[in-house]
Structure 1
Amino acid sequence: MISFLRLVIPGAIALTPSLVSQGNNFLRQQTIQQLQETRKCLGCHLSGVNLSGANLQGVNLESTDLQGANLKNVNLQYANLEWSESLLM
């Protein structure tokens, strides 16, 4: 039994980062979908997300973490970025 656990535990530990990463990607996709549908995303974690070319005109992104997000050619006209500006660095 112990030898079985010695084989299983390292494999489970090796898979954990991959599963966590997939979970994070799923949550980010849900967040982006919410943003598209509701035009608001209060306090969302969009760090590192590729939003290039997105039309975010008039969306409410209050307190949203956009650190490291790709905002190239994003339309943020009239968007609410209150409390988000410090996270844009």
Structure 2
Amino acid sequence: MKLKLLAAVALATPLFLANSVNAGNPQDLQKLLSTGECVGCNLKGMNISNSHLIGADLRGANLSGANLSGANLEGADLTNANLKGANLTSAYLTNVNMKKANLNGANLTRAHVIDSNVYGASMDNLTITDAEIYNTAIGVGGEDLQVPDWD
């Protein structure tokens, strides 16, 4: 019995270690939430949903796979940030700087993207179902397109 338990623990340990290596840093999340600054932070896969991150400095942060659904990122700086596969459903992205950010595979369903800078951002396989996108250049078919304001 003890041998089976020991074998199970030995087999499972690498799985737990692999997951912890690939996860974001909880201290970085606490820093972001308390100061609004987290330049170069590792927030990979973290749950930051419904957070008020107005004006947050997240330059170069790793937010890949993070849950930012419902977050208010108004005026945030996400220059060179990695948002690959991030969930930005219903997020508020007004006046956000996403210059040279990685938005590949990001989910922007029902997001509000207004007057944001996406110059040089990578945007392959975006989900923009029911998103409100105004005055923000988005990549379509490899070409920049200025989305008109239809109000």
* Match among 64, 79, 94 for residue 47 of structure 1: 64
2:133 aligned partner: none
Q: What pairs with 1:1-89 in structure 2 (closer than 5 Å)?
A: 11=10, 14-27=12-25, 29-36=26-33, 37-38=36-37, 39-84=56-101, 85-86=121-122, 89=125
**77-86 or 14-23, which moves further after superposition?**
14-23
**Where do 5+ consecutive residues of structure 1 fail to align?**
1-6
- In the TM superposition, residue 87 of structure 1 has moved relative to its aligned partner by 5.3
Letter in 1 for 2:78: L
Aligned-pair identity in percent equals 35
**59-68 or 29-38, which moves further after superposition?**
29-38
- In the TM superposition, residue 20 of structure 1 has moved relative to its aligned partner by 3.3
- Runs ≥4 in structure 1, deviation > 4 angstroms? none
* Root-mean-square deviation (Å): 2.5
Q: 1:67 to 1:51 in 2, by over 3 A?
A: same
TM-score w.r.t. structure 1 length? Answer: 0.70
Letter in 2 for 1:72: T
Deviations 1:13-53 (A, max 9, x none): 641231232344341x4444444422111111111111000
Distance 1:20 1:34 in 2: 24
Distance 1:88 1:34 in 2: 30
Give the structure with the larger helix fraction. Answer: 1
Distance 2:71 2:95 in 1: 14
2:137 aligned partner: none
Q: 1:76 to 1:45 in 2, by over 3 A?
A: same
Higher relative contact order (CA 8 A, sep 6+): 1
Distance 1:26 1:70 in 2: 15
